[in-house]
Structure 1
Amino acid sequence: MNTLHMSQTYETDNGLVHMTPPDMAVLNAVGLPERTRILEQYVREELGRILGIEPWMVDTTGRPMGCLGIGSISGIELQYRMENTLGVDVNLQRLLLANSAQELIDCLAGQFGPEAHLHGAPVPA
């Protein structure tokens, strides 16, 4: 069984949070608004895991990644996890310098779906 795509949990002060990676077939089939929604939930879960908070508490629009608490070490961890889960390249410098998590989400959303080739992403075979 491929452990990279298995659901995971992490602990917060309020208990365990269950994480479910996005389905790649769905990400490649749905339109941009739905794809963005799915990836926002995924990025919130990954950031929440790193920060030890509930996904709904992650500010995706108001603070740069550094102000969220994402530094070089946690950024490398986030890059590695997202690349392995999503199967796309995540530029570490772009991740760390993003003005918000939403900027990262939008970049990821452009790498899936029928218009992905317009953003330089490889077209799935």
Structure 2
Amino acid sequence: MTTLHMSQTYETEAGLVHMTRPDMAVLATAGLRERTRILEQYVREELGRILGIEPHLVDTTGRPMGCLGIGSISGIELQYRMEATLGVDVNLQRLLLANSAQELIDCLAGQLGPEAHLHGAAVPA
């Protein structure tokens, strides 16, 4: 079986960006606000890596995923990386059709907190 190496750094015009893997124990116990903040940084880094831009330049609220430049191939890569890092199911169609990255962040935040068992652990289809 071949395993895809998931780089924790990527390069932009401004230089090298070091990605921070979220601490799953912290996500599991953090309140919704803190969990959302942690996941926003993580999603910005993953999208920035795919788009080749600094994480702070990723528009998380104003544009649908497709308008950000996330298509089927990059969406599959993003799905794979998020599932491997966070240990949750990410619905590819929902990811690609999300109205914004914030919609994805909010969905992930709901799956990873202490109240996740109340809402089910999988990303809704």
Taking structure 2 as the reference length, what is the TM-score of the superposition? 0.91
Change over 3 Å in CA distance of 1:7–1:71 after alignment to 2: closer
In the alignment, what sits opposite 1:64?
64
Within 5 Å, give how 1:79-98 maps onto structure 2: 79-98=79-98
1:35 matches 2:59:
no
**How far off its partner does 1:114 sit?**
1.4
Over the aligned positions, Cα root-mean-square deviation in angstroms equals: 1.7
| Alpha-carbon distance between aligned partners in 2 of 1:32 and 1:7, rounded to the nearest angstrom | 28
Q: Which amino acid aligns with 2:81?
A: R
**How far off its partner does 1:16 sit?**
0.1
Q: Secondary structure at the match of 2:17?
A: strand
| Alpha-carbon distance between aligned partners in 2 of 1:119 and 1:59, rounded to the nearest angstrom | 28
Q: Secondary structure at the match of 2:112?
A: coil
Q: Secondary structure at the match of 2:44?
A: helix
Gaps of at least 5 residues in structure 1 are none
**How far off its partner does 1:105 sit?**
0.1
In the alignment, what sits opposite 1:107?
107
- Deviation string 1:44-79 (CA, Å, 9 cap, x unpaired) is 000000000000000000000000000000000000
Gaps of at least 5 residues in structure 2 are none
| Alpha-carbon distance between aligned partners in 2 of 1:39 and 1:25, rounded to the nearest angstrom | 13
| Alpha-carbon distance between aligned partners in 1 of 2:79 and 2:9, rounded to the nearest angstrom | 18
| Alpha-carbon distance between aligned partners in 2 of 1:82 and 1:119, rounded to the nearest angstrom | 19
Q: Percent identity?
A: 90
1:54 matches 2:54:
yes
Q: Secondary structure at the match of 1:10?
A: strand
**How far off its partner does 1:119 sit?**
2.0
In the alignment, what sits opposite 1:25?
25
Within 5 Å, give how 1:68-79 maps onto structure 2: 68-79=68-79
| Alpha-carbon distance between aligned partners in 1 of 2:7 and 2:71, rounded to the nearest angstrom | 25
Count of residue pairs the alignment pairs up: 119
**How far off its partner does 1:118 sit?**
1.9
**How far off its partner does 1:25 sit?**
0.2
* Ranges of 4+ aligned residues in structure 1 off by more than 4 Å: none
Contact 1:7 1:21 in 2 (8 A): no
